[in-house]
Amino acid sequence: MVVSTKAPSSRLVFGKGNFEHLTEKIRGSPEITSVFLNVERMAAPTKKELEAAWGVEVFDRFTIVLHIFRCNARTREARLQVALAEIPVLRSNLKNDLDGRRGGSRYIMGSGESFKQVQRRLLKEKEIKIRKALEKLRKKRHLLRKQRTRREFPVVSVVGYTNCGKTTLIKALTGDVAAQPRDQLFATLDVTTHAGTLPSSLTVLYVDTIGFLSQLPHDLIESFSATLEDVAHSDLIVHVRDVSHPETELQKASVLSALQGLGLPTPLLDSVVEVHNKVDLVPGYSPAEPNVLAVSALLGYGLEELRAELEEAVLRATGRRVLTLRVHLAGAQLSWLYKEATVQQVDVIPEDGAADVTVTISNAAYGKFRKLFPE
């Protein structure tokens, strides 16, 4: 059933006629065990009134998504982010409870504070404590990013709609057993980093991010903003799509909208690599769009082509080049290259006491090499 709702500013969700019609349908159907209203959040009194009238639980988007997040919060950071997202709910519930409580202005044990004031203060102190803990973790992540930058590891952020197969793809590209895919919504609520190598032996760091969702409630976006900061500091973004999903185009639009909302640099947005995953579930699948790679992360199909494409994109994004340099074996050139660049191949020329060394090297490192070892 599709029915009209009242204006957003109205306390009532439905007009009288629609409400009576819905109540009759819901009450008369034993198969209905709960009702989901596609609104971001309901006021607590409205929720209670609807549940009393219909005799079943009533949910909004915020309640559903927050519950999913709570079930999947496995690390301290994820639990803190969920707790921060719950603060507005607790504050709203407190207000409604106190509005219905008599004697709310009575002072408690000579403290000079009313029950209402004490509850609000405790809630505020809890929020401050959570934000401080998250800020500490944010600073730690910032420090880790600086260390990656100093060591010049390219960073590839893997993004996509929830349950599109990001973690499975990262595990397939890296072989990292720490990546544990699960076939469920929001299996990843934390940023996790996994090292892998490209065909040139260049080491890259794949960042597994939280899954996106269309119309994610605003309070949850704010609470998990720290998790998404890593995307802005990456060298390349890989957008993974589940092409077996019936709403894959809508999911793509939701992800791109969310990325644009993060205020990412234009060059980073323009260089997004789009990967169509789960093609094993779509017999005869072929991408309609150009410059798209079709893979099955689960079965390993298309991964070599993806690695080659990622290498080209990473080299462009980071200003790296693949060069063959003639070095003297008696000097420190070769050991320096092993330390400051990625050595792909060494062809020794014994009669010259030299070697042709193929390396992947950044422009900055190449400049240092020429300054230290002028021809």
Ordered DSSP codes for 134-171: HHHHHHHHHHHHHHHHHHT--EEEEEEBTTSSHHHHHH
Is the same domain home to 223 and 355? Answer: no
Q: Do 235 and 158 fall into the same domain?
A: yes
Q: What's the CA dihedral at 342, 347, 350, 352 to 10 degrees?
A: -70
Can you give the pLDDT at residue 56? 92
Are both 184 and 286 inside the same structural domain? Answer: yes
Split the chain (375 residues) into runs of 10 and give each run's mean pLDDT: 66 77 87 84 80 89 78 71 76 63 52 71 82 74 60 84 89 80 52 85 85 62 63 90 93 86 85 95 89 93 94 91 91 91 90 92 89 86
pLDDT of amino acid 187: 46
- Asked whether residue 138 is assigned to any structural domain, the reply reads no
Half-sphere exposure of 104 (CA within 13 A, CB side): 14
Cβ atoms of 298 and 261 closer than 8 Å: no
The answer to whether 288 touches 128, Cβ cutoff 8 Å, is: no
In a domain, residue 215? The reply is: yes
| 288 and 167 within one domain | yes
**Does the residue 110 lie in any domain?**
no
Q: Is there a single domain that holds both residue 207 and residue 347?
A: no
Decide: 238 and 275 in contact? Cβ < 8 Å.
yes
Place of tokens 């323009």: 270
Quote the number of domains for the chain: 2
- What is the per-residue pLDDT for 151? 55
Range of the domain at 357: 319-372
d(CA 344, CA 180) in angstroms, rounded, equals 30
Per-residue confidence (pLDDT) for residue 307, from 0 to 100:
94
- Is 236 in the same domain as 251? yes
What is the CATH number for 332?
Answer: 3.30.70
The CATH number of the domain holding residue 243 is: 3.40.50.300
Cα distances (Å, whole numbers) of residue 117 to 10, 86, 94, 125, 153: 29, 19, 11, 12, 51
Would you state the pLDDT for residue 230? 74
